[in-house]
Amino acid sequence: MTQSELSADAARNRDVWTAENAAYTAKQAREAWAQEEIRWGVFQKPEAEVGALPDVAGMDAVELGCGTAYFSAWLAKRGARPVGVDVTPAQLETARECQQEFGLDFPLHLGNAETTPFGDASFDGAISEYGAALWADPYAWIPEAARLLKPGGWLMFLTNSALLTIVLPDKEDLPATTTFQRPYFGMHRQQWEGDTSVEFHIPHGAWIDLLHENGFDVERLVELQPAEASTTRYTNIATLDWARQWPSEEAWIARKRG
């Protein structure tokens, strides 16, 4: 992958995730890889309570923005054949170390989730857990996911909720407020003060139109509500009290028409 193949935003995010890897994700990856149960989001809600995953046994699945690839590892343990794609070499290096440490092997590809080298209709599933879902442009990566999926293919992505995005303060790393901080209509490319990364968030209506235009039917929008006694290490996003009242995270589940 050469610099010229990367958009300016993808290159910025790669630099940010190189630093995040050194700061914390390499350590957190081991905890996530070791976990047997699938847990959703920053409050770690168990899949047994969320019920968002289909039977993935035998599924060829691509993870777009796989990071340290723990979600792919969870799918592999359930019989799927994942392929991880990520733009940050350090994140994939940690994923490779975890593969060795945990004795699980699947392909990891260095590249931009918005333009992958895989053939048309080569996967049964496409997922993103806070990967492309938040860090890549939906108007690029959703068409790419549609291209990669077979008819009937399953798309699932988890990201911050649209509601959260409009109530976070401008300055990075401050938790959700209870007042609107920016317009909902027109939101797309988002940067926080004091942070060089670039996020992407669009309104619900725009997600539904984009998915529909790319051949998907939306099956579910899972708005995650943490249980009463939940804890999170990400108190910079939303407090438990906030997230108990309003959705801070949302998982979209769609099916490619076929």
Surface-to-core class of residue 100, CB atoms within 10 Å of its CB (0-12 exposed, 13-18 middle, 19+ buried): exposed
Q: Number of residues interacting with ligand SAM: please give it, by CB under 6 A.
A: 26
Nearer to ligand SAM, 103 or 183 (CB): 103
Least separation in angstroms between residue 209's CB and ligand SAM is 22
**Interface with ligand SAM (CB under 6 A), residue from 11, 44, 102, 130:** 130
Least separation in angstroms between residue 199's CB and ligand SAM is 10
As a whole number of angstroms, the distance between CA 168 and CA 174 comes to 7
**Interface with ligand SAM (CB under 6 A), residue from 43, 61, 68, 156:** 68
Least separation in angstroms between residue 70's CB and ligand SAM is 4
Report which DSSP code applies to 231.
-
Q: Which residues pair with 171 in a beta bridge?
A: 193
Q: Decide: is 135 part of the binding site for ligand SAM (CB under 6 A).
A: yes
Q: Decide: is 114 part of the binding site for ligand SAM (CB under 6 A).
A: yes
**Interface with ligand SAM (CB under 6 A), residue from 10, 52, 75, 167:** 10
Residues 6+ apart with CB under 8 A from 49: 227
Q: Decide: is 249 part of the binding site for ligand SAM (CB under 6 A).
A: no
- Contact by Cβ (8 Å): 135, 65: yes
Q: Decide: is 67 part of the binding site for ligand SAM (CB under 6 A).
A: yes
Q: Decide: is 116 part of the binding site for ligand SAM (CB under 6 A).
A: no
Q: Decide: is 87 part of the binding site for ligand SAM (CB under 6 A).
A: yes
* Structure tokens, 172: 């990075």
- Contact by Cβ (8 Å): 80, 58: yes
Residues 6+ apart with CB under 8 A from 206: none
Q: Decide: is 153 part of the binding site for ligand SAM (CB under 6 A).
A: no
Residues 6+ apart with CB under 8 A from 243: 43, 224, 225, 226, 249
Q: Which of 154, 166, 252 is nearest to 210 (CA)?
A: 252
In the complex, which residues of this chain contact ligand SAM (CB under 6 A)? 10, 13-14, 17, 25, 65-71, 85-88, 91, 112-114, 129-132, 135-136
